[in-house]
């Protein structure tokens, strides 16, 4: 199998799906001849032409509105929002229109589009290039939200997202776009949405994470092992639909949970996970559920490495949870 980084895996998935289905089109700022700001769409314009790889004006609401119209007329658009921080001008289109179309049409119309967007900090991008907006969209019924952590998952999950009959937000952790490398199967394969991945089996504490934070959680778990602490690490992969069976099964086994995400703490997805675990696993819990998150501040430029949850901060939470 070839070794890809996440950018290469995303590019491979787009090429394969565009070759398989002539209705798959890509649109966004600089996605054409330039190949995208991170080169995720490199080579698509040359192979599929300007009718299927479309450069757009710098107008996010227009990009999503156009993709919505394409989807309703039978295409499978994959719009790119260049940075997730810029998705907010398209919020009304996504929340009020894209997410609601199946419900408001009584099931007559679906809206098969995939909004790809790099998200998260760690590249010294400052306030407008570093945010993690997944919680805003998880509050909206009708949307699926997917966050891969590895190249193999990025390709397989993106294939499933493009084939899904309903809208999917596909947030790509740009901090590890090129840093995360791994073997990726050649040709077509799909990883079903809504299936978490237990990446490390353990019996003392469950660590839940996604995207770039999964790598920090895995590092913390390996360091905890040196101290005799046995962690189970779960990569959620899909936040909606959520694989509750895997999450709850793991917490019932270990009796403890540490949740990691880089978005701000208040009303982050960790709060929803914590409430669900408390409701469903109360009698199994041996310690309070811990959250290791970003802070309730605007994303800081000079202090981003202090802001982002790193393995040492996660390791402290693991120790405190196990020793409670």
181-183 vs 53-55, strand pairing mode: unpaired
The closest of 36, 70, 64, 72 to 52, measured between CA atoms, is 70
Q: What stretches of 21-59 show up as alpha helix (H) in DSSP?
A: 44-48
Beta carbons within 8 Å of 188's beta carbon, 6+ residues apart: 16, 20, 159
Cα 178 from chain centre: 16
127 is catalytic: no
CA distances to 16, 25, 100, 277 from 22, rounded to whole Å, are 11, 8, 26, 43
Choose, from 129, 139, 215, 261, the residue flagged as catalytic.
129
The closest of 130, 150, 169 to 212, measured between CA atoms, is 150
CA pair distance 242, 236, nearest whole angstrom: 8
User: Position of tokens 């107008």?
Assistant: 59
Could you tell me if 235 and 149 are in contact, meaning their C-beta atoms sit under 8 angstroms apart? yes
Could you tell me if 307 and 121 are in contact, meaning their C-beta atoms sit under 8 angstroms apart? yes
| Token couple for 17 | 């799906």
By annotation, the residues acting in catalysis are 129
């Amino acid at each position: 199998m070839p070794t890809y980084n996440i950018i290469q895996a995303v590019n491979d998935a787009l090429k394969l799906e565009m070759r398989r289905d002539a209705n798959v089109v890509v649109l966004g700022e600089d996605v054409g001849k330039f190949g995208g700001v991170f080169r995720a769409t490199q080579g698509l314009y040359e192979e599929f032409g300007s009718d299927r790889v479309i450069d757009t004006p710098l107008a996010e609401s227009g990009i999503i509105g156009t993709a919505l119209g394409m989807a309703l007329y039978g295409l499978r658009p994959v719009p790119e929002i260049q940075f997730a921080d810029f998705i907010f001008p398209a919020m009304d289109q996504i929340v009020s229109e894209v997410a609601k179309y199946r419900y408001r049409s009584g099931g007559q119309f679906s809206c098969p589009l995939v909004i790809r967007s790099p998200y998260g900090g760690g590249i010294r991008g400052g306030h407008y290039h570093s945010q993690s907006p997944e919680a805003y969209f998880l509050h909206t019924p009708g949307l699926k939200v997917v966050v891969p952590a590895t190249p193999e998952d990025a390709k397989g999950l993106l294939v499933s997202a493009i084939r899904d009959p309903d809208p999917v937000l596909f947030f790509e952790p740009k901090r590890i776009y090129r840093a995360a490398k791994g073997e990726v199967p050649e040709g077509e394969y799909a990883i079903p949405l809504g299936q978490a991945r237990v990446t490390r089996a353990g019996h003392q504490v469950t660590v839940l994470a996604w995207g770039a934070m999964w790598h920090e959680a895995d590092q913390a778990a390996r360091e905890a092992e040196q101290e005799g602490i046995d962690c189970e690490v779960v990569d959620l992969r899909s936040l909606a639909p959520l694989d509750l069976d895997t999450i709850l099964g793991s917490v019932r086994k270990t009796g403890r949970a540490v949740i990691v995400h880089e978005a701000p703490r208040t009303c982050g997805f960790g709060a929803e996970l914590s409430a669900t675990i408390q409701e469903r696993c109360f009698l199994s819990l041996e310690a309070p559920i811990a959250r290791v998150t970003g802070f309730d501040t605007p994303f800081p430029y000079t202090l981003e490495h202090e802001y982002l949850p790193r393995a040492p901060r996660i390791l402290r939470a693991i120790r405190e949870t196990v020793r409670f």
